[in-house]
Structure 1
Amino acid sequence: MPLFHLSSIMAVKLKHTRIKGNLIYFRRRIPEDIQSLLAASGSPLAGKSHVVVSLQTSDPRVAAPKVAKLVQQTDAEWEELRRPSRAGTLKQAHQLLTRAGIDVSDPTGSPEIALDLFHEYLDRRLPASVREDETVTSGKQLDQHLDPVHRTALQLLQDRREFTLADCLDQYVQARPKAAKTAKLAFGYLSAFLGSDRDIRNVRRSDVNAFVLHLLQGGHNEGGMPITTSTVNRYLNSLKAAFTRAINENELDIRQNVFAKVEIPNKGEDVQARDSFTVPQIQALHAAINKWIVSKGWDQLRCILTVLAETGCRLAEVVGLATSDVHLHAAVPYIDIKPHAWRSLKTSASTRNVPLTVRALQALKEAQALSKGSAFMFPDYTNEQGCSADSVSAVLNKWIRSREGLRDSGLSSHCLRHTMKDLLRAVECLESIQDAILGHATPGIGASYGKGYPLSILQEWLERALATAEGGT
């Protein structure tokens, strides 16, 4: 494990790395059990003892998040080889049949010699006692004697393979990991309502309409708490996307996606506008932060809250910052909001550079000192495995609502984002500049041309907006 010197007095060790020439390389040993599985799967890594990837940098601060992403990626790939998910099992079965020269979409139309050879191959996978048992004649009887991959291959070969809700979810999550959280919630409620073993070809529109009412009436949770129509719509969109992918990728005989164009009763009528901080409430928030700092000193939570108030960023965007995302010594100090393995972004427009005000700059300098050389700006709440933005939200919201001038206000850390939008509007900031600061997509073809606004312009408008909250003009 090489030692990297960040300064004359600070050095860090970066696991799974080596230095070759002027570049840092990711180098991780492949476990012995994985080496044999790679050989069986025909992987390009078969026969190798290490995964080696050039990180294309000599800066350990830039390399650290790349290493974290590669560790997460290799962990996921190895776990899938050891214990294939339903989607992984189906994928391996497809590969098995394809390598045998069998068309998965039309097995009976494949060359007869390929089918005969594959059946002989499956026979060899069976225990001798089963091969010699003349009473075992059907594919269903053989299923219990084959491992999951070969059992699935046989079912595909005989057109017996059901494609269940569980299959649909697993395949979708594997292909769209960023959409996993919402998909798992939506499928969890649907599976509890219909049964996880329901073949998606047997889901009817009447089932979907009943499911919508089930959610709206709170039948999906023990407390009977209904959910909003916007949340129901989000779940339906996730289910529709998963069903569409399953139908297309598996060539299922489904003429129309039952989750397309579903009507939600009274859609949008229950929308409640989020509150923003008033100017006195913003001032009360900063007074509370200053009082805390004087009494107890800076901590990561007060740093996070200050940056939220001064930038309008989403909570996860700040909590999930890598140290290399923060540029404190640039001509215009800024933070680089971009997706990471431990924290995705809400939309593609969320990727952006946000300039720092004097107060935000001070908070991030303190956070950097508190991080003690970590690859993460807020290591108490972010690591290679994930970003704990939800837990930070709960703690900050409780703290905000217990401060003088903010008690019983119902305000949250997310309200600071809406507050920034209002402050920018109040100083007549152009909509496109607001979008650049807040990470919203600007409508129109012209918005996609050029490199966007200079950081100095964004910083000027941020400072002008925040000046109104300080009693300025």
Structure 2
Amino acid sequence: MSETISPKYTFVKEGVFYFSRRIPKELCRYYSSSRIAFSLRTHSANVAATRARRAADQLDEYWFHLRSQDTELPGKHMLRRGAANYAVTPVVLNETSAASVLLSEAVEIYLTQKGQGRPVTFHRGAQRACGYVIDACGDKHLEVYTKADANRFRDALIARGLAGSSLTRIFGTVRAVTNFAASEQGLSLHNPFSGVYYDRSAGVSGRKPLPREAIVSVQAKCRELDDDLRWLVALVSDTGMRLAEAAGLGKEDFMCADDGSLSVRVRHHPWRRLKTQDSERDVPLEGHARWAAQRILKEAGSSQFAFPRYNKSDTTNANAASAALNKWIKELVPEGYTMHGFRHSMRDRLRAVECPADVVDQIGGWRTDGVGHSYGSGYPLAVLRKWMKQVT
């Protein structure tokens, strides 16, 4: 089949094939629009033809059941007197309400309401996760999906070779989309994508804390090379900050006290969101992190960013930073260790000096359980600095 010819029930927009089919007039009362249209998530005409045919077959089957509601029951005149009041009612499979929405429509509802101001990765994640469902089970009305569909979806993800952690993230996104859209439309929905069993540990490799000797080796190399990439590594190595948090820092986030001590304020920026609410914090800068901050602030330039190379667009390119720095430290650390290992190491380093757990949580931006920990504004910076001095 030629890639330039659109298969039946499809059209092409910006190179992507879309399914489009007009709803029969007699069934329009069941829908909020006169046409069903959604992305087939492919650039291939062959793949589009297969998916469009499958979607068309599903619609034909469903429309048959809708039409059955308006059809006189065969043999009704032969029923005994009164039996028609209770015995026989045409069975309608997968019946939907007037407020029902297709999964593809649910994604749009979800992103329109909850996607405001969210990064492009948020939108892509929702579209990708629900696209996997549509590929495996079809684009159905929300209340039509069954546990068998959810299990089929799970099996399709496993067949893709995805790790248990990826399945958890994808299922979580699908549940969020379907629950939110159902709530917005006033639908009563028992979500079949909840409680699906799979091995959450499958294919998951734990992120290990870097050994002390590896940290020392990397930090020494950072001082030797003394450039912006190495400043970023050094900053992470002696603070335990997430790489995205550090890469998205502005120069104004660095604070110098009257006594010359330095700290950094980790906060939300339009170009870089924080992972959790507890991630917003002030972190004392000691050791190699202090050296990195001094080099950043001394660097001449008009950019507001601490690391301009990773902030050239509307969002911090943390993925590029991760790829570049993990590739660099690969030659300096044992096999299997990554930049995220510095964060794990900082927690262990603080444990080793018997730092209180809630202080550790505040330094790293981890959530501390318990109602009492939500009171007050946390430990003063001087207390945090006392413990950071002991590990750097």
- Give TM-score scaled by structure 1 length: 0.59
Shift of 1:262: 2.2
**Secondary structure at 1:386's aligned position in 2?**
coil
Q: Does 1:313 align with 2:241?
A: yes
Q: 1:194 aligns with which of 94, 112, 137?
A: 137
CA distance in structure 2 between the aligned counterparts of 1:360 and 1:328, rounded to whole angstroms: 14
- 1:371 touches 1:377 (CA, 8 Å); kept in 2? no
Q: Which residue of 2 is the match for residue 227 of structure 1? A: 162
Shift of 1:430: 0.8
Letter in 1 for 2:173: S
Shift of 1:194: 2.8
Q: Does 1:304 align with 2:242?
A: no
Change (3 A) 1:448 1:143: closer
CA distance in structure 2 between the aligned counterparts of 1:355 and 1:441, rounded to whole angstroms: 18
CA distance in structure 2 between the aligned counterparts of 1:346 and 1:181, rounded to whole angstroms: 17
Deviates more, 1:437-446 or 1:255-264: 255-264
- 1:306 touches 1:363 (CA, 8 Å); kept in 2? yes
Change (3 A) 1:329 1:379: farther
Map 1:75-224; keep pairs closer than 5 Å: 163-177=101-115, 178=118, 179-195=122-138, 197-218=139-160
Change (3 A) 1:418 1:138: closer
Q: Which residue of 2 is the match for residue 326 of structure 1? A: 254
CA deviations on 1:303-351 (whole Å, 9 max, x unpaired) are 1111000100001101111222221346542111112221111111111
Provide runs of 4+ in structure 1 moved above 6 Å: 142-145
- 1:307 touches 1:363 (CA, 8 Å); kept in 2? yes
CA distance in structure 2 between the aligned counterparts of 1:255 and 1:162, rounded to whole angstroms: 10
Shift of 1:138: 8.5
Shift of 1:458: 0.8
Change (3 A) 1:232 1:306: same
- 1:328 touches 1:365 (CA, 8 Å); kept in 2? no
- Mark the runs of 5 or more structure 2 residues left unpaired by the alignment: 1-24, 36-96
Shift of 1:167: 1.7
Q: Which residue of 2 is the match for residue 342 of structure 1? A: 271
CA distance in structure 1 between the aligned counterparts of 2:166 and 2:376, rounded to whole angstroms: 36
Q: Does 1:382 align with 2:315?
A: no
Change (3 A) 1:267 1:359: closer
- Mark the runs of 5 or more structure 1 residues left unpaired by the alignment: 1-135, 146-158, 219-225, 467-473
Letter in 2 for 1:327: M
CA distance in structure 1 between the aligned counterparts of 2:124 and 2:296, rounded to whole angstroms: 29
CA RMSD of aligned residues (A): 2.7
Q: 2:322 aligns with which of 393, 407, 431?
A: 393
Q: 1:256 aligns with which of 190, 199, 202?
A: 190
Map 1:342-381; keep pairs closer than 5 Å: 342-370=271-299, 372-381=301-310
CA distance in structure 1 between the aligned counterparts of 2:295 and 2:166, rounded to whole angstroms: 38
Shift of 1:162: 5.8
**Secondary structure at 1:353's aligned position in 2?**
strand
Map 1:280-295; keep pairs closer than 5 Å: 280-293=213-226
What is the identity percentage for the equivalent residue pairs of Structure 1 and Structure 2? 30
Shift of 1:384: 5.4
CA distance in structure 2 between the aligned counterparts of 1:180 and 1:438, rounded to whole angstroms: 28
CA distance in structure 1 between the aligned counterparts of 2:306 and 2:220, rounded to whole angstroms: 24
Shift of 1:392: 0.6
Q: Does 1:279 align with 2:217?
A: no
CA deviations on 1:23-54 (whole Å, 9 max, x unpaired) are xxxxxxxxxxxxxxxxxxxxxxxxxxxxxxxx
- 2:28 touches 2:34 (CA, 8 Å); kept in 1? no
CA deviations on 1:411-454 (whole Å, 9 max, x unpaired) are 21111101111111111111101100110111111101111011
**Secondary structure at 2:264's aligned position in 1?**
strand
Letter in 2 for 1:420: M
Shift of 1:371: 6.3
CA distance in structure 2 between the aligned counterparts of 1:181 and 1:431, rounded to whole angstroms: 36
CA distance in structure 1 between the aligned counterparts of 2:348 and 2:322, rounded to whole angstroms: 21
- Give TM-score scaled by structure 2 length: 0.70
Change (3 A) 1:330 1:443: farther
Shift of 1:270: 5.3
Change (3 A) 1:447 1:377: same
CA distance in structure 1 between the aligned counterparts of 2:103 and 2:315, rounded to whole angstroms: 27
CA distance in structure 2 between the aligned counterparts of 1:144 and 1:271, rounded to whole angstroms: 46
Shift of 1:236: 1.1
